[in-house]
Amino acid sequence: MATIKRVGILTAGGDSPGLNAAIRGFGKAATGHYGWELIGFRDGVTGLIENRFMELTPSALSGILTVGGTILGTSRDKVHKFVVDGETRDMVPTIVQNYEEDGLDALVMLGGGGTAKNAKRLLDAGLNVISLPKTIDNDIACTDTSFGFATACEIATDAIDRLHSTAHSHHRIIIVELMGHRAGWLTLAAGLAGGADIILIPEIPYSVANIAATIKARTARGSTFSVVAVAEGARDQADTADYEAARLLVDRADSAEAKRAAKNHLAHVVDSQREHTFRLARELEAATGLESRVTILGYVQRGGTPCSADRLLATRLGVAAADMLDQGASGVLVAACGDDTCPVPLADVAGRVKLVPTDHKWVEAARRVGTGLGE
């Protein structure tokens, strides 16, 4: 058993449904069951660097289970690249000093892939750190799922349900763009649950000609509309080749100057492909003769009240984090493993992304029910 008396907690990265439920789950177990003191750093890593925090008493944790967002605030700052007066600095030494001055025995960081990397850097600096998996993208390595994903999937599914009626009424192609960065989990899940006719994800580069062929086949069968669910990171085959080539240049750069040039080129490629969904709509309209309309859900997907599944997941992960700390765990991600939880070394998580395998059961299910994947 570890000797824990005072713990800090923060939320980092994009906001996500279930963050407050996780804060509550950990906080109630920490203060009520174990008798620890708990402070919450405001605005993620920024608050940790600037040492801005609030005491998380039982009253502060009351009533937050159903609240969206995070009562602590959040940011995307990096511990080793923090801008101060226009200068980028490594703030890890400052964080270590704050940790010691605040009398902390542990730090709990709720976030996604970037947070796992920040947590690993603080672990390497000697702090007792653990992380909880939060993201609507479901792309964190070594955990079955992350809180936020289920709620976002419900919101996206509801949107696809609603778009079916207007697509049917106007005999149109309706394209709905969903979040997910480089991973297609959200689009794939919501597309299947919402009955999208075509699902396009980053892991399976698409061909406009193949999508058009699927839509024309539907028209020939009497279906005069199609709903296309497309991930924000999905690309056609040509764009994918350009993107992968640009990423390869970054990986192979053998000097700081070459690395900067390669990263600038990659940024240019990404920027040039940013409007790919609208381009897809124009191309499909030209190829099929059907009017095409685009709906981008954006931040709607991660706003509002968390669903029951995310509340349950966040609560049990939060409680498990307190239990693991009491048992002496350090430097781990509290992962969802079936109905249980398990500690996974941050070294196995940081810098990795969980993508959709092209032979995943969800992909196979899409093929079996006749959903087009643009391949």
For the annotated catalytic residues, the residue numbers are: 137
What whole-number distance in Å separates Cα of residue 371 and Cα of residue 187?
13
Determine phi and psi for 197, rounding to 5 degrees.
-75, -30
The DSSP result for 208-251, as a single string, is: HHHHHHHHHHHHHTT---EEEEEETT--BHHHHHHHHHHHHHHH
Closest CA to 133 of 19, 218, 39: 19
How would you classify the pairing of strands 37-41 and 129-133? unpaired
CA distances from 162 to 170, 174, 239 (A): 13, 11, 30
**Contacts with 286 (C-beta within 8 Å, 6 or more apart), sequence order:** none
Judge whether 147 and 310 are in contact, CB under 8 Å.
yes
What whole-number distance in Å separates Cα of residue 24 and Cα of residue 308?
15
Element housing 166 (H / E)? helix 149-170
Which two structure tokens, joined as six digits, stand for 312? 């349950």
What whole-number distance in Å separates Cα of residue 321 and Cα of residue 324?
5
Judge whether 227 and 164 are in contact, CB under 8 Å.
yes
CA angle 301, 307, 309 (to 5 degrees): 120
